[in-house]
Structure 1
Amino acid sequence: MSLVQYLVGFMLKHGGCTERDIERLSKIGLCVHPVTLHRKLKEWQHILDTCVIEARDSWSNGAHTTYQIIGDNWDKDLLPSYRTSDRRTMSLHLFNIYAILDRVTFAPENFERFHDQIDVATFIPSEEEQNQLSKELCFIISTSIIENHPQMNRVLKQAYPKHLEHQFSTFAGQKTTQYPLGLRDCNEIKTQDVIQLLKDLSKRYVPCKDDSIVEPVFFGGDRLTDERIQSAQEAMKNADTPLERLEGFVSKIEDFNRLMNFLEAIHKLTYNTQSGPDRCTVYYFRNVLNMRNVKGKVCNSFRAYKMLYYVILDAVCLLMFLTIMNVETIEEQLPLPENFAELTDSETVAWIDSVSLKILRKWFFEGKDDVFKDLREVISNPNHPDNYWISNLQADGRLKCHYCENTYKFSNTLQYHEKKIHNVTIEKSKPKEKKEDKDEVYDYILMLFRLTVLLKNLDSGIDMGDGERVVRSAKYELPIYNQTNKVKYMIGSIHLTALTSGILPQHQRDRLVANRFVNVQGGKNNNISLDEYLEMLNRDSKVVATGHQTKESILQNSKDYPHLVDIKNHFEDINGIRKRKGFHHLPSYRSDVLKVLTDLTEQGVLKQTSDRKLQCKVLNPNRDVFSSAYKGLGTLIHRHRPYTPFRRLRDPHV
């Protein structure tokens, strides 16, 4: 049979064409027979994970070829051909798995962990980390100014770098290699299913030598996957060997879901549909810009919400730049330094970065060197009322009474004892009194600026493959998750910080940080997070699965889906078919920024005016958003701080 006939058959199969129709077309020579298609696809099934098995064997024998596994739920509703009382829509829950070869490999020097117990202050950004943040935010603000200010665009667009150099920049542009491992009959909500899945994967993909684990494999996913793997390990903790205890995998949270949930937390603090009459609020700008796709939950319109916040951020950065330069409008000529045209590229870059640093110092740090100082002091102070019940935590994990020698296993028991025996009542710390004459609009804009620029820092870190920046971002997200009661992702931030701060050996920690991304097309700024890549693959495989309407047929043919998707992609490349562009390539982006800038300028949002209020009482603008996030944070860190890479479940005593 000719190649064209095979390609036509594969395209029909990809599109969900029935086998009977493919057979009809094969009779007139347009394509191959469906049996021939099945035979060819079956020949290819065994090669799906051949390279992964080879990598596992070489890893077991001491080579530095390492990989990680990424998994996510694969949900699909199967509609009956005709509906009756016993033939209803069936909700199918499977699990899709891919293996990703590590771009950056590290030789194992030793397997000793650095710290058995991590200090509470480690989970809050240090002053040194904030200095590093300043450099990263300078790059973001400078890029924003250059992209949206006409004069800066003309003189600096070619000179300013598109990529912020980091430790792994040399690897960021390399394409990654990934292999599909197929769909598994596993509902990740059920711990028993996850246990069976991990047992099967351990036998096949965990590098072992003499029945002992050479090194655990990272297993990435969203927060639910991370949590279920730990629950499965907890359920098997009494097994005899590490392999039976499922310690061949170290679960980790991936970055796309972190990005989405961080935006949800920001949305919770800054967005409300009752704030339409208040000029310069996010919902007001949503209406002004007619972004009708910004609606409902953030998880259902993530890119639309993200675009709205980025438009406002760019406008705020422009306004701050104009204020620093003492210019009223964007049309006015900027007072550039003397002999600016004669400066070298590096000197012009240094100049715009110095202006961005002034913006940060004035409106992000507000003249402070450490904006997390107050928060760090509260959670590190055992005498603070919020930390009273865990201040006497003993080395054996028991809690000692403050007035006698009794020790207790649970904090609730200690509270009952001190209240009953010693008449102790600890009053909750009261929030600071609100100033009656404060400028709520100014506070709102600064809070919005701080949170959104941190979101963009995480987003650009993913694009550039900067693992250190992405991991460090978890420390900035933690107080915001605590303030917005996003407990699951607060736990995820604590675990991610712990994994990179001492409970993993150094080479495993470096692997975790450096290999958090997939790069399909090459280029230093074209990285995507592992879970986002898997979401894209899930979407493609569901298109192919439309021809199968039972669970058995989907599982039976699931190993054909990656081949059919690859053939479709190659066919599009051969024919020069362009992929459809998403709505995020908006030609009106710059004009939207200018509209927002005009409103911000008219309202004078960067000029503090006493007693300027927002009409919407639901919003509670607080520009010192980090210092006010201390409530219960110390206890939660103590409760969820892990001591081992496996079974990272909460401490029930705290």
Structure 2
Amino acid sequence: MGILGKNEQYVDDMIDIVKHLYQYVPFHEDQLPDKETQPVKVLSGGDYLTFERHKEAQSSKVDGRTPSKRLEGLIPKIEDFHVQAEWQKVIWKHLYSTSSSRDIGTLYAARNALKAHNVSSTPSKDFYASAELLNKFTDAYLVSGALHHFGLKDVNSSPTRNKFEDNPDSKSDVKQYILSEARTFVDNYVMTKVPELTQEQQSLKCKYCEQEFVQPVSLKQHEQFHIQFAEDIQPYSTSTGTVHFTQDKVFNYTHTTLMLCLLRRNHDNAIHMGDGARIVRLYKYFLLFYKVSGCPKYAYATLELLCQTMCLLSERKAYQLTWNRSVNYQGQIDTNHPMDLDIEHDNKSFKNDVTSHRGVITQRIIDRVSRSLDTTDRIVRNYNAISKVHHPSGKHTSKNTEGDVLILVKQFEDLKLYDFIAGRQHSAFPNINGNPLKNLKMTDFKQWIKKCCMKFSKKHYYYPKNQ
């Protein structure tokens, strides 16, 4: 479409950008004599900044006389690559601390053990380095979990429990056995109890023990006590028979690690497989964690995306929004990548070409490079192939990370990450619990959803929905 000399930080420039995009909307008013004809709605995606500025530009045109003057033909949406980057921030908030270098089993200790010095406390500074560390860290925790679940001493030993019993009479299936054991592991160490969104306090009665109170403040303090001692606090008896309640911060860290890292891996796999329905389903979980992790902007954008698929858009447009979330140039399974990442690749190629014009960048050069970018890239790749010139493809290839994963697994051997041992502490995570969602106040969360849905329903570009 060409590169515009506009800055999306400014309202006037963003309006010009949206108007430029609008010329690609079918049946806009310049194409038909009937000015009242409804344009066919088209989805327009980007990162959070583009998403937010796009909505502001359309809202500023709400008083236009025709649908096209109101820019109703464009529907803003949020893309997946920048959501991946934001999810890394969530993981860093709960698992990363520079004061945990001596706490073996933590993310920062793993970073030091693997000498991943390009990873910092701000994962967005080097997204791929942070992603690579997270992949190794997740694999190490899963391998350690498998060793614990099957009673293995090391990766080369044989299982001592939960072994596969090959019984010809019962027609045992190895696949079903693996899935069953994986489900058991997930139920024991990953799944957690989440408060129901439909819970409402009708009276001053505790929803945990049904004790009645006179003052709402007393009821709130009492329920906070129940939440604090709900799951991650286990009872144990002393020699005198006295029962005490204590926590295991190391076990809590393990539970939080598996929960966050497996959600990330599931989202990444859903993108690679082009499974739009699974991506949208995962956003329901992301929404909860964004609210408790200090990410209000992405929580708001995620909620709007969910509302778009459920009620704001027509069934046809919601289907497009769900399943048109990635691109695939190889035509093979498990090779999809997000649309906004594809745009980032095009931007990189454009910057490389436009800066080769001796530093003189004019609108004429911008137009020429933007329109010939794909063709020149194909010519250069073909020339390099014929001339047998080695040129990096720029694609991310899978590396063998087995050695780094085994280094971390070796460190985890004596920690008993999957055993509950009362009283264990993490010096850098004194307040960590096994479920970050315990801090989510469901009553306030429900009120926030109601307010946001009211705002969404007033956006003029969501109507009519019959397209």
Q: Give 2:275's match in structure 1, choosing from 466, 469, 478.
A: 466
Match in the other structure for 1:194:
14
* Partner of residue 399, structure 2: 586
Provide the C-alpha distance between the structure 2 equivalents of 1:601 and 1:590, rounded to a whole number of angstroms: 16
Separation in 2, partners of 1:487, 1:245:
28
Q: Structure 1 CA distance, aligned partners of 2:22 and 2:396? A: 42
The one-character-per-residue Cα deviations of 1:400-430 (angstroms, maximum 9, x if unpaired) are xxxxxxxxxxxxxxxxxxxxxxxx9979955
Q: What's the counterpart of residue 350 of structure 1?
A: 176
Corresponding residue SS for 2:44: strand
Residues 573/242 of structure 1: CA separation in 2 closer, same or farther (3 Å cut): farther
Q: Percent identity?
A: 24
CA RMSD of aligned residues (A): 2.9
Looking at structure 2, the residues matched to 262 and 562 of structure 1 have their Cα atoms a distance apart, in angstroms, of: 32
SS at match of 2:414: helix
| Higher mean displacement: 280-289 or 608-617 | 608-617
Cα contact 1:217–1:250 (8 A) shared by 2: yes
The aligned counterpart of 2:417 is: 605
- The letter of the residue matching 2:173 is E
Residue 335 (structure 2) aligns with: 526
**1:146 aligned residue:** none
The letter of the residue matching 1:450 is M
| Preserved contact between residue 3 and residue 366 of structure 2 (Cα < 8 Å) | yes
Aligned to 1:388: none
Who is 1:303 aligned against?
128
SS at match of 2:3: strand
Query: How many pairs align?
Result: 421
Deviations 1:346-376 (A, max 9, x none): 932222111111111111125xxxx32x152
In structure 2, the partner of 1:643 is 457
Deviation per CA, 1:487-526: give whole Å up to 9, x if none. Answer: 1111111011101112111111111111111111221100
Distance 1:601 1:426, change over 3 A: same
Counterpart position of 2:209:
none
Instruction: Output the CA distance in 1 between the equivalents of 2:68 and 2:85.
Output: 34
Q: CA, structure 1 residues 352+550, in 2 after alignment: closer, same or farther (shift >3 Å)?
A: same
| Mapped pair 1:207 → 2:27 | yes
Alignment partners' CA distance in 2, 1:552 and 1:313: 47
Alignment deviations for residues 436-483 of structure 1 (CA, whole Å, 9 cap, x no partner): 721001101110110000011101100000001111111111121111
Cα distance, 1:575–1:592 mapped onto 2, change above 3 Å: same
- Give the drift of 1:580: 5.0
Structure 1 counterpart of 2:98, which letter? T
Name the CA distance, whole Å, in 2 between partners of 1:637 and 1:278.
Answer: 39
Give 1:242's aligned amino acid. P
Alignment partners' CA distance in 2, 1:476 and 1:571: 48
Partner of 1:568: 380
Query: Contact 2:25/2:39 (CA < 8 Å) preserved in 1?
Result: no
Q: Partners of 1:292 and 1:342 in 2: how far apart?
A: 55
Helix, strand or coil at the partner of 1:246: coil
8 Å Cα contact 1:545/1:561 also seen in 2: no
SS in 1 for 2:419: coil
The CA distance in 2 between the partners of 1:227 and 1:562, in whole Å, is 29
> Could you say if the C-alpha distance between residues 462 and 428 of structure 1 is closer, same or farther in structure 2, counting changes exceeding 3 Å?
farther
Please tell me whether residue 236 in structure 1 is matched to residue 56 in structure 2.
no
Alignment equivalent of 2:95, drawn from 239, 254, 270 = 270
Tell me what 1:291 maps to.
116
Letter in 2 for 1:354: S
Q: What does the per-residue CA deviation read over 1:41-86, in whole Å, with 9 as the maximum and x for residues that have no partner?
A: xxxxxxxxxxxxxxxxxxxxxxxxxxxxxxxxxxxxxxxxxxxxxx
Partner SS for 1:451 = helix
- Retained in 2: the 8 A contact 1:269–1:620? no
CA contact (8 A) 2:119 2:126 kept: yes
The answer to whether the 8 Å contact 1:499/1:645 transfers is no
* Inter-partner Cα distance in structure 2 for 1:343 and 1:569: 57
What secondary structure, in the 3-state scheme, does the structure 2 residue paired with 1:206 have?
coil
Q: Is residue 218–residue 250 contact of structure 1 (8 Å, CA) maintained in 2?
A: yes
Distance 1:628 1:377 in 2: 17
CA offset at residue 646 of structure 1?
Answer: 4.9
TM-score for both structures, normalised by structure 1 = 0.60
Q: Which amino acid aligns with 1:191?
A: V
Residues 294-345 of structure 1: per-residue CA shift (max 9 Å, x gap): 125211211111221221211222222222222232211236534489999x
How far apart, in 2, do the equivalents of 1:196 and 1:361 lie?
A: 52
Unaligned runs of 5+ in 2: 206-214, 234-244, 463-467
CA distance in 2, matches of 1:186, 1:375: 46
Could you tell me which of 62, 74, 80 is aligned with 1:255?
Answer: 80
Question: Contact 1:541 / 1:562 at 8 angstroms: preserved in 2?
Answer: no
For 2:182, the aligned partner's letter is S
Deviation at 1:560, TM superposition (A): 3.2
User: 2:167 and 2:399 mapped to 1: Cα distance?
Assistant: 33
Instruction: Find the aligned partners of 2:13 and 2:202 in 1 and give their Cα distance.
Output: 42
Change in 2 beyond 3 A, CA 1:565/1:205: farther
For residues 80-229 of structure 1, what are the structure 2 equivalents within 5 Å? 181-208=1-28, 210-211=34-35, 212-229=37-54
After superposition, the Cα gap between the structure-2 partners of 1:427 and 1:497, relative to the gap in structure 1 and judged at 3 Å, is: farther
How big is each residue's C-alpha offset from its partner over 1:228-284, in whole Å with a ceiling of 9 and x where there is no partner? 111111111111111111111000000000011011111111101111111111001
Provide closer, same or farther for how the CA distance between residues 333 and 384 of structure 1 changes in structure 2, counting only shifts above 3 A. same
What is the 5 A alignment of 1:362-381?
362-365=188-191, 371-372=193-194, 374-378=195-199
- CA distance in 2 between partners of 1:518 and 1:203 (Å): 23
Q: The residue matched to 1:266 in structure 2 has which SS?
A: helix
In the aligned structure 1, how far is the partner of 2:203 from the partner of 2:383?
Answer: 67
Give the letter aligned to residue 184 of structure 2: K
Q: Distance in 2 between matches of 1:459 and 1:246?
A: 33
Counterpart of 2:27 in structure 1: which amino acid? P
SS of residue paired to 1:219: strand
Report SS of the residue matched to 1:218.
strand
Per-residue CA distance 1:122-165 (angstroms, 9 max, x = gap): xxxxxxxxxxxxxxxxxxxxxxxxxxxxxxxxxxxxxxxxxxxx
**Equivalent residue number for residue 257 of structure 2:** 448
Could you tell me whether the CA contact under 8 Å between 2:73 and 2:461 is conserved in 1?
Answer: no
Q: Distance in 1 between matches of 2:17 and 2:139?
A: 46
Q: 2:354 touches 2:361 (CA, 8 Å); kept in 1? A: no
Uncovered stretches (5+) of structure 1, i.e. residues with no partner: 1-180, 386-423, 649-654
- Partners in 1 of 2:124 and 2:219 — Cα distance? 34
Task: Quote the Cα distance in structure 2 between the aligned partners of 1:296 and 1:608.
Answer: 29
- C-alpha separation in 2, matches of 1:292 and 1:584: 21
The question of whether the paired residues in 2 share the 8 Å contact of 1:293 and 1:301 is answered with yes
Give the match for residue 625 of structure 1.
436
> What amino acid sits opposite 1:192 in the alignment?
D
d(CA) in 1 for partners of 2:404, 2:344: 30
Match of residue 316, structure 2, among 498, 504, 507: 507
